[in-house]
Amino acid sequence: MTASLNRARVREFVERPRFQHAIIAVIVVNAITLGLETWAALADDLGWLLFLVDRAVLVIFVVELGLRLYAHGWRFFRDPWSVFDFVIVAIALLPVTGEFAVLRALRILRALRLISVVPSMRRVVGGLLAALPGMASIAALLSLIIYVAAVIGTKLFGAAAPEYFGTLGHTLFTLFQTMTGEGWPDVARELMEKVPLAWIFFVIYILVSSFMVLNLFIAVVVSAMEGQVMAESRAEEAAHAAEEQIANREILAELRELRAEVAALRGVPVRDP
C-alpha cells in the first residue's frame, strides 16, 4: 500500500507541468552547449565548463528516467516515446574513449528529446508516422514516373546531351534534379539548343512529378494529422465524460449519506430513489 502511494506521488511529480518545463529547459541548454563545443576558440577556453554542464545534464536525464521508471513500472516500456527517451539517454552512457570516441558526436541526439517532451512536436511526428503507409504508395508512384521518364529521356536526348542523358543513371539523376527545381533551366536551355522541342518533355515531367505527385505527400500528411487530432479530441472527450461520471457518482453517494443522516435523526426509514 505504501509503495503504491509512493509511486502515485512520484507519478504526480514527474507529470507536473513545471517538471516538464524544467526538463525542456535542460534539453535546450544541453543542445546549446553541445553546439558551443564545435566552436574551437570557445572550447579551448571554456572546455572544462562545457564538460561539467554536459555531465550535469546527463545526471539530470538519468535521474528523470529513474523517477519515471519507478512511477510507471514496466508500463514505462509500453509507451514508444518513453522507450525513445530511454534509448537516447542510454547512448549517452556508452563509453566515448578509444574505438567508441565517435559516439561523442551522438550526444546531440539528446536534443531530439524535445520531440517527446513537447506535445505539439510529438503530434507532428505522430502524424508523419501515421502517414507512412500512404507516403510509401506515393513514393512508389513517383519512382515509377521518374523511371518511365528516364527511359524516354535517355532514348530521346542521349545523343544530344550525353553528359545529362547519356545513360539511364545520368538521366535518373538529371530528372531528380529537375524535380527538385535545382538548376534544371540551365539543363533545359542547353538541350534546347540542339533539340528545340525538348521543353515539352520538361514541362510535362515537372507538371506531373512536382505539381501533382509531390503535393500528394503534403495531402497525405495533413490528412493523417487531422485524423490524429480528431482521435486525440475523442479520447479527451471520453476522459472528460468519465471524470464527470465519477464526479456524479460521488455527488450521488454524498447525497445518499446526507439523506441517511437526516432520516436517522428523524427516525424515518430511508428509501433509495
Query: Could you tell me if 88 and 113 are in contact, meaning their C-beta atoms sit under 8 angstroms apart?
Result: yes
Q: pLDDT by residue (tens digit) across 104-135?
A: 677 777 888 888 888 778 877 877 777 777 78
- CA 93 to CA 58: how far, in whole Å? 8
- Residue 235: what residue type? A
Given a cut of 60, whether residue 269 has pLDDT beyond it is: no
Alpha helices in the chain (DSSP H): 2-14, 17-36, 40-72, 80-92, 113-117, 119-130, 132-157, 162-165, 168-180, 184-192, 198-206, 214-266
Name every residue whose Cβ is closer than 8 Å to that of residue 16 and which is 6 or more positions away in sequence.
none
Query: Could you tell me if 71 and 14 are in contact, meaning their C-beta atoms sit under 8 angstroms apart?
Result: yes
SS3 state of residue 211: helix
Q: pLDDT by residue (tens digit) across 68-104?
A: 888 888 888 888 888 888 888 888 777 766 566 666 6
Residue 223 to residues 122, 123, 217, 265, Cα–Cα distance (Å): 16, 13, 10, 63
Q: Of 239 and 212, which is predicted with more confidence?
A: 212
Q: pLDDT by residue (tens digit) across 187-209?
A: 888 889 888 888 899 999 998 88
Given a cut of 90, whether residue 147 has pLDDT beyond it is: yes
Please report the pLDDT score of residue 257 as a whole number. Answer: 79
Arithmetic mean of pLDDT, 12-33: 87
- The share of the chain scoring above pLDDT 70, in percent, equals 88
- CA 16 to CA 3: how far, in whole Å? 20
Please report the pLDDT score of residue 45 as a whole number. Answer: 73
Beta-carbon count within 10 A of 153 CB = 26
Grid coordinates of 27: 534539453
Arithmetic mean of pLDDT, 158-175: 90
Given a cut of 80, whether residue 239 has pLDDT beyond it is: no
Name every residue whose Cβ is closer than 8 Å to that of residue 2 and which is 6 or more positions away in sequence.
none
Superfamily of domain 2-117 in CATH is Voltage-gated potassium channels. Chain C (1.20.120.350)
- CA 148 to CA 145: how far, in whole Å? 5
Domain ranges of the chain: 2-117, 118-273
Please report the pLDDT score of residue 175 as a whole number. Answer: 92
- Residue 64: what residue type? E
Q: Of 228 and 10, which is predicted with more confidence?
A: 10
Place of cell 511526428: 125
Please report the pLDDT score of residue 102 as a whole number. Answer: 65
Given a cut of 70, whether residue 146 has pLDDT beyond it is: yes
Given a cut of 90, whether residue 172 has pLDDT beyond it is: yes
Please report the pLDDT score of residue 114 as a whole number. Answer: 83
* Domain boundaries 118-273, CATH class: mainly alpha
- CA 87 to CA 90: how far, in whole Å? 5
pTM score over 0.75: no
Closest by CA to 58, choosing from 83, 82, 84, 94, is 94
